[in-house]
Amino acid sequence: MLWDVKARLNLAAMDQDRPAGWMIDLLKKSDRSFRRVRRQPFRAVNKDGYMVNLIKPRPKSVIAAEPTRLGDESDLEAAEIGNLEWLVSSPKFSQVVIGNNGYPAAMVCPDPRAFAVHKIWMSRQPDRDPLKKQRDRCQALTVAWIVSRYFPQYKFSSSELKMFPKSIIDNARHDIDALTVPDDFE
């Protein structure tokens, strides 16, 4: 979950009086087995190993304090990620989805092209954990393939992804243009 601390967070599930650990409680409404990971307070995991990370852009100012939790100490604490403002600044994709209970909900996420470009950039950071680098690259190329396959009108171009430096786009395009997918991938 990407938390833009500059914007107000509006969730339909938010009550007037938030519980102390309301983010983890919200996850438990979808799956009761979600638990916060003690050594990684930004992460919750369920019994099937599905992980949800709460992330936010690293503050630009070391002086101005920004919140890192939506609840108290028992709740998830946002991990600060460098250059995440690229995703926060990207165009938003919004779609109404229908939940298992039959109710509609608005799902809003960053432009998937911006997600792919940011993940490619992260996979190339020299100080990043090698396992995370590999996961970042796989996620990026999977999303890039989905965009090229199902949204061909969306191009990975500097003019459409102005929130990134041109060099970042050019480097990402090299990987995306070389993308090959096995025939039985679908």
- DSSP string covering 78-102, please? PEEETTTHHHHHSPEEEEEEE-TTS
Distance CA 17, CA 2 (A): 23
Read off φ and ψ for residue 92, nearest 5 degrees: -100, 145
What's the pLDDT at 142? 93
For 64, the token pair is 């101005």
First to last CA, the chain: 26
Distance CA 147, CA 113 (A): 7
CA-wise closest residue to 47 among 27, 67, 75, 73? 27
- Local confidence pLDDT in tens for the 186 residues of the chain: 555 555 544 444 444 455 577 788 888 888 999 999 989 999 999 999 989 888 888 877 777 677 777 777 888 888 888 888 888 888 888 889 898 889 998 888 889 999 999 999 999 999 999 999 999 999 999 999 999 889 889 988 888 899 999 999 999 998 898 887 656 665
Q: Which residue, chain included where needed, has tokens 């003019």?
A: 159
> pTM value?
0.76
CA-wise closest residue to 96 among 107, 85, 86, 110? 107
- 67 Cβ neighbours under 8 A, 6+ residues apart: 5
What's the pLDDT at 23? 84
Strands 40-45 and 79-81: unpaired
Domain boundaries, the chain: 1-81, 82-186
